Amino acid sequence: MMRLERLLWDLGYSRVAGVDEAGLGPLAGPVIAAAVVFEPGASRVLEVDDSKKLTASRREELEVEIREEALAVGCGVVEVDELDRIGVYQAGHEAMRRALEAIDPAADYALVDARTVPGVEFGQSAYTKADTFIYSVAAASIIAKVTRDELMRELDRRYPGYDLGRHMGYGTAAHLAALEQLGPSPAHRRSFAPVRRLLAGDRTEGATP
């Protein structure tokens, strides 16, 4: 999984950041992105993978190991109010840009899952499903997922009744039923159709954002 990092290290890039985001699809909670930089020729290679393929307990174990082994980890957050204002796709871009901005000293190249990050002044390459075959991007996917899950558990404590700490804001049947019963909380995305319809008084289910 380190083939692209090794190629870039050989070309003289010493701070290659893998970047990924979590939370584009849910009806509630922020979008989180992470950027992870490993030392060139890292001696210890972790058994990372796409975060979606790992159990929650394994993600949490790897998150600790990644933070211990990485040269730098940066996270970027776009909260619900801003997401509703700029749109979810742009929120993903902005979270990634903020994650890269949080790397100190700055990265000199970025490997990104599926998209190009605007406003980045150094080189970058985007790859579809990068978290399945690029080491630093897989690491970033784990950091982003674990960080977001922790925030969703905090939102669950703040806004009980929706079970946000279980489904992490995704539009499960139980979540939609809680929305029908309780109405949207401040953690819900007003720009997403199921929430928007409830606010408008239309209780028809089944639409997507």
What are the C-alpha distances in Å from 20 to residues 12, 58, 117, 180, 191?
A: 23, 18, 10, 32, 23
Query: Does the pLDDT value for residue 27 go beyond 70?
Result: yes
Instruction: Compute the distance between CA of residue 168 and CA of residue 97 in angstroms, rounded to an integer.
Output: 23
Q: Which CATH class is domain 3-157?
A: alpha beta
| pLDDT (0 to 100) of residue 200 | 86
Query: Does the pLDDT value for residue 204 go beyond 70?
Result: no
| pLDDT (0 to 100) of residue 208 | 37
DSSP for 146-190 reads HHHHHHHHHHHHHSTTS-HHHHTT---HHHHHHHHHH---TTB-T
| Domain regions of the chain by residue span | 3-157, 162-200
Q: How large is the average pLDDT for residues 66-75?
A: 96
| pLDDT (0 to 100) of residue 49 | 80
| pLDDT (0 to 100) of residue 43 | 63
Cβ atoms 132, 20 nearer than 8 A: no
Express each pLDDT in 144-164 by its tens digit: 999 999 999 999 999 999 999
| pLDDT (0 to 100) of residue 207 | 36
The secondary structure element, H or E, covering residue 57 is helix 56-69
Share of the chain above pLDDT 70, in %: 95
Backbone φ and ψ for 168, nearest 5 degrees, come out as 60, 25
| pLDDT (0 to 100) of residue 41 | 81
| pLDDT (0 to 100) of residue 157 | 97
Express each pLDDT in 76-127 by its tens digit: 999 999 999 999 999 999 999 999 999 999 999 999 999 999 999 999 999 9
Cβ atoms 46, 65 nearer than 8 A: yes
| pLDDT (0 to 100) of residue 142 | 96
